[in-house]
Each structure stands twice: as structure tokens, then as C-alpha cells.
Amino acid sequence: MFGGGGMNPRKMKQMMKQMGIDVEELDAERVVIETTDGDDLVFDGAQVTKMDAQGQETYQIVGSPDAVADAGAGGATAVEGDEADEPALDDAGDADDGGEDGIPEEDVKLVAQQAGVSKEAAREALEAANGEPARAISDLQ
């Protein structure tokens, strides 16, 4: 973005700060990009940088993706551990496909965990984000 060819990294950081640009390295284990053509991109161990320029957030991913037929929501809950292998059960012992609002409980848990909020706040954010976990997390942060 800034062809800093040969520029001192400290000087570059100082100039970006003066322009109101904050850069932060994120400790990401896995990044999934869901595409409309069906081949999702999965980056394991990618380097992720978040840049905030005057309220506009931009994310840069550096790594080699694997094309996967459908990473889906199941991939996002893999951080849950053994629970991710089994469907959530409601009070009747049936698989929980979501509450009355149609939002899966696993999405609510994911948003609550990632954003550090209660399940109720996570569910409200998911409703406002039309059920999109990434957007709900972003809105909560």
C-alpha cells in the first residue's frame, strides 16, 4: 500500500501513526473465507494484520490457502474441542438447529467467546447482523 522501499520501519510506523493509521498483528490460528462458488479458502497458521485507518478496518492475510468444498460453520466451531464433533442438544434431547429466531446455538457461543460478551448480547448482535457471525463479532468489538 505504501511502497516503503528502503524506509526505516520505525519511521514508517511513526508516519502511519501521524496519519491516524493503527496496525495490529492478530494471533490467528485459522482463517476461513466462504465463497459463493462453493470452494472455500482455509488459511491455517496465516499471518493476519489488522489496519484501522480513520475508523475503516482492513485485514491482510498472508499465507497459502487450501481450497475446501465447504468449510461451513462446522469449521468455525472446531476451536470448541470435542463438543464440535457432536450436534448441540436442546432440552428434549433433539439436535439444536437454532432457537425460534433460527440462529444456531453454536454461532451464539462462537460470537460470545470471540467478542467476550454474554450469550444474550451475542444473540442480539447475530440478529442485527442477519445471522452472520463475523459481522456480529466485528460489531461487538
State which amino acid sits at residue 82: D
In this prediction the pTM is 0.41
Higher pLDDT, 9 or 50: 50
CA distance 141 to 83: 26
pLDDT at residue 98 is higher than 70: no
Question: Cβ(99)–Cβ(105) under 8 Å?
Answer: yes
Q: Cα–Cα distance between 6 and 127 in angstroms, integer?
A: 48
Residue 80 has pLDDT above 70, yes or no: no
Q: Is the model's pLDDT at 20 over the cut of 70? A: yes
